[in-house]
């Protein structure tokens, strides 16, 4: 199957700092990248959809100025949580789309904001 990596796998930061999460598709190109968030004991919720070279489309209730998404290449997308607060503590999962109907998931990044 396709290989997707995320870095870091976990991060602890102080409130008010920014955290960047990288997602790479290692053996395929992804024109579309989905970013999900998962709170403890809950399901995955889509945050935003980005297409390479375009601005991301955010789901209702997700602040675009707080969660900055950059999809500069077909193999790399980044999610930056700006001015993180404890309520942003969550599990963030990227999901690149290889071809139509083939979506893969990264291993996730656990963010803890103190």
Partner 1 sequence: SQQGEEDPQALSIQEGENATMNCSYKTSINNLQWYRQNSGRGLVHLILIRSNEREKHSGRLRVTLDTSKKSSSLLITASRAADTASYFCATDANLGVGQNFVFGPGTRLSVLP
* Residue 91 is a binding residue for partner 1 (CB under 8 A): yes
Q: Which position has the token pair 């290989």?
A: 3
Residue 87, number of CB atoms within 10 A of its CB: 9
SS3 32: strand
Cα dihedral across residues 21, 111, 86, 55: positive or negative: positive
Cα dihedral across residues 77, 49, 92, 44: positive or negative: negative
- Cβ proximity to partner 1, 16 vs 53, nearer residue: 53
The stretch near partner 1 (CB under 8 A) out of 16-24, 27-35, 67-75, 80-88 is: 27-35
Tell the smallest beta-carbon distance from residue 57 to partner 1 (Å). 8
**C-beta separation of 70 from 85 below 8 A:** no
Query: Which position among 7, 20, 28, 51 is part of the footprint of partner 1 (CB under 8 A)?
Result: 51
Tell the smallest beta-carbon distance from residue 16 to partner 1 (Å). 25
The stretch near partner 1 (CB under 8 A) out of 20-28, 32-40, 68-76, 82-90 is: 32-40
SS3 21: strand
Which parts of this chain interact with partner 1 (CB under 8 A)? 1, 31-32, 34, 36, 41-46, 49, 51, 57, 91, 93, 95, 97, 100-101, 103, 105-108, 110
């Amino acid at each position: 199957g396709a290989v997707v990596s995320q870095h870091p796998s976990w991060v602890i930061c102080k409130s008010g700092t920014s955290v960047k999460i990288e997602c790479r598709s290692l053996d395929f190109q992804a024109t579309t990248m989905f970013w999900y968030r998962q709170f403890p004991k809950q399901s995955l919720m889509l945050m935003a959809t980005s297409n390479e070279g375009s601005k991301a489309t955010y789901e209702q209730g997700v602040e675009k100025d707080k969660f900055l998404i950059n999809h500069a290449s077909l193999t790399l997308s980044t999610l930056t949580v700006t001015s993180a607060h404890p309520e942003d503590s969550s599990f963030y999962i990227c999901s690149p789309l290889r071809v139509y109907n083939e979506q893969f998931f990264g291993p996730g990044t656990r963010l803890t904001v103190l």
